């Protein structure tokens, strides 16, 4: 028998917060052009977390253009 999860209310709150953060992250990603978004999807979640700050995006963009 599966154990009933305690503290369901908190769980929902956490879910909502995660969704909100994802929304913000997506909004930020939309501003960067498509090739980089493709790059992010290829590199996976870790890179995405690194890119959430706008500062990092700019830094990474400049690094890409230097390549």
Q: How far apart are CA 40 and CA 55, in angstroms?
A: 16
Tokens representing 41 are 């999807």
The 10s digit of each residue's pLDDT in 28-63 is 666 555 555 555 555 565 555 555 656 666 666 666
The residue written with tokens 């501003």 in the block is 31
Longest dimension (CA), the chain: 58
What's the CA dihedral at 46, 25, 14, 3 to 10 degrees?
-50
Q: Containing domain of residue 16, as a range?
A: 8-66
Q: Is 70 exceeded by the pLDDT of residue 18?
A: yes
pLDDT at 48: 58
Q: How far apart are CA 41 and CA 31, in angstroms?
A: 15
Q: Between 51 and 1, where is the model more confident?
A: 1
Domain annotation covers residue 36: yes
Domain annotation covers residue 3: no
Q: How far apart are CA 66 and CA 19, in angstroms?
A: 34
Q: Is 70 exceeded by the pLDDT of residue 15?
A: yes
Domain annotation covers residue 34: yes
Average pLDDT over residues 8-25: 72
Domain annotation covers residue 2: no
pLDDT at 40: 53
Domain count, the chain: 1
Domain annotation covers residue 52: yes
Domain annotation covers residue 20: yes
């Amino acid at each position: 028998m599966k154990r009933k999860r305690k503290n369901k209310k908190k769980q929902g709150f956490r879910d909502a917060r995660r969704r909100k953060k994802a929304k913000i992250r997506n909004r930020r990603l939309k501003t960067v052009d498509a090739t980089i978004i493709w790059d992010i999807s290829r590199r996976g979640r870790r890179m995405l977390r690194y890119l959430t700050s706008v500062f990092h995006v700019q830094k990474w963009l400049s690094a890409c253009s230097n390549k």
